[in-house]
Amino acid sequence: MWDPFTLGVLSYLYGHNTSVQDLAMNEDRHHLISLGTDKTVMIWDVRNYTRIRTLVDKTDYRPDNRLTSLMFDKYTNNILLGSRKINCWLFKKQEDIKTSHENMVCFALHNGTFESVVSADDDGFINIWDIEDG
């Protein structure tokens, strides 16, 4: 992290084991999001220069099996990853979206950093709930 006024180093962010491919900012939450060439995404808090979260994309992309770009969409609060192929994710209508698990919940975890709750059921389905809007 560099100070643009003095051109001095503010801090080093250690964590990636490979080169950083792309960067994005979530300015509302003061997060820097970085993408490594090994398909590892790290979320950093730029206020105290700490790593908040590490995510690994385990999807197998053919033929290169690599990600090339990263973007943060502030309107949907999603991290978007690009590869050689464009993946089209269809959005469900409100009446098609499940509001609960169909099977017994076996795990739940509160994440205060992202203001969400993650729950999993016996069938292996994982839901991420936004605390603010349900």
Asked whether 41 and 57 are in contact (CB, 8 A), the reply is yes
pLDDT, tens digit, for every residue of 84-106?
755 444 444 445 555 677 778 88
pTM above 0.75, yes or no: no
Please name the amino acid found at residue 59: T
Handedness of CA 96, 99, 103, 107 (dihedral sign): positive
Please state, for a pLDDT cut of 90, what percent of the chain lies above it: 21
Please name the amino acid found at residue 20: V
